Amino acid sequence: MPKKQYQGTDRHTLCARIPTPPFGNFEDRHIVKYDEYVKTGGYKALRKAITMKPEDVTEEVKKSVVRGRGGAGFPCGLKWTFLPPVPEGKSPGDEGAERYLAVNADESEPGTFKDRLLMDFDPHLMLEGIAIACFACRLNKAYIFIRGEYHHQAHVVENAIKEAYENGIFGEKGLIGSAENTGGDKFRVDCYLHRGAGAYICGEETGLLEALEGKRGWPRIKPPFPALKGLFGKPTIINNVETLAHVPSIIENGGEWFMEQGIESSIGGPPSFGTKLMGVNGHVERPGCYEFELGIPLRTLVEEHCGGVKGGKKFKAAIPGGVSMGILGTDQYEAELDFDIGRKHNVLGLGTACPTIFDEDTDMVAVARNISRFFKHESCGQCTPCREGSGWLFQLMSRIEDGDGKTKDLDLALEIATSMGSMPGTTICGLADGNNWAIRTIMNKFRDEFEARVKRTFVPVSVSVGAMARG
């Protein structure tokens, strides 16, 4: 049975070829090319997968309960089952039967650099996951949408894709050149890299699809959902880089093996199984991207693995996984980094699990103002509450930081924040939710700092007796 609480093991699958403390040194990292990848067990899982029925591969991933590592945490295997069947009498790729995989490598969330680690040093792990996902879901084309600012990473991934074509992973002689991968029928997968143009909103899955189609990156109204009508109007699965990187080890070792890592939910929700890449930044002695089991306490991560808070100062706050998740207060240093964190500690969720740490001298008003500036800049402008609300929040935060705010501005900011977002039902995507959760969690958990920066708003009241009396 899966363990009930975090115990900490020496398992590391995503960083097996990427030296990472406590299992290795940052200085020993290098790009893992195809030959080295194969020598260290790479593509073994793909060879196993193509001997299985596609639905059995999907079932194994579903059994593992691996949840999406892009931020939402939706079960990967379950998402794969949402695809409609291939039209009768046709094969994937035939006219009218095209089906796609879109890989979200946009990673524009501030403070997040976990996918970058994989693309920097072990790109074939992602490509193997892509090949297995395409085989399992009968998808004939995969598009990797990579962040526009990831210039070096784009070259590394392009070279890896070229190696994959040359060695029978993709293309006409792909999937290890086996005719057995579909029970006798040849199954071909093609993989392409698409570079973004630097828009944060394209990290939202439907905004990503619009950008892949060559359009402006505006999120789509759902339904229809991408699994039914996605890229170019065809069935599409969208997975994060890290999610797909977990697939090879799941297929090679089994879903139950994956469930031995991580923790079960302590509040009756879905479990948080497996390991997670955690990019720690901010006021720590040794920032970097690490791999640990889900459920590791924030204090353990910072104190035991990142050298503690920088300069020996005290912990004040932390953003658990990208600025859109909101903030953990000073009394929440023991928070476990799992998918229950949102409900237990009043944040939006775990997000990318890349914590930003703040020390005791951090000005939380300045933090709120900077975050509001980011969301104002990155709002696509499609939805009025987000377009206008993000601007209003930035104005209010700037006014408060400058010392020109009044007490009523605090209430106004919270009122604006709680009125914008897809959860109140006023916007198409969750960008506004990230904005409002960030601002209101900071304001609510560090209210005293905001109150100290504003002038009190009061309405003088006088009592009079008779028309000419004065109060």
Q: In the predicted model, is pLDDT for residue 301 greater than 50? A: yes
What is the C-alpha separation between 9 and 60, in angstroms, rounded?
A: 23
Q: Answer with the residue of higher pLDDT: 132 or 89.
A: 132
What's residue 79's pLDDT? Answer: 94
Q: In the predicted model, is pLDDT for residue 468 greater than 60? A: no
Residue 457 binned pLDDT confidence (cut-offs 50, 70, 90): confident
The model's pLDDT over 13-56, given as tens digits with 9 standing for 90+, comes to: 899 999 998 888 889 999 999 999 999 999 999 999 988 889 99
What's residue 266's pLDDT? Answer: 86
Average pLDDT over residues 202-216: 94
Pairing mode, if any, of strands 236-240 and 100-105?
parallel
User: What's the chain's average pLDDT?
Assistant: 90
Amino acid at 124: H
Distances (CA, A) of 216 to 208, 273, 323: 10, 36, 24
Average pLDDT over residues 220-246: 94
- Percent over 90 (pLDDT), the chain: 78
What's residue 173's pLDDT? Answer: 78
pTM comes to 0.91
Contact 79, 227 (CB under 8 A): yes
The model's pLDDT over 181-196, given as tens digits with 9 standing for 90+, comes to: 554 467 889 999 999 9
The model's pLDDT over 91-131, given as tens digits with 9 standing for 90+, comes to: 777 787 889 999 999 999 999 999 999 999 999 999 999 99
Average pLDDT over residues 135-160: 95
Average pLDDT over residues 440-456: 93
Residue 2 binned pLDDT confidence (cut-offs 50, 70, 90): very low
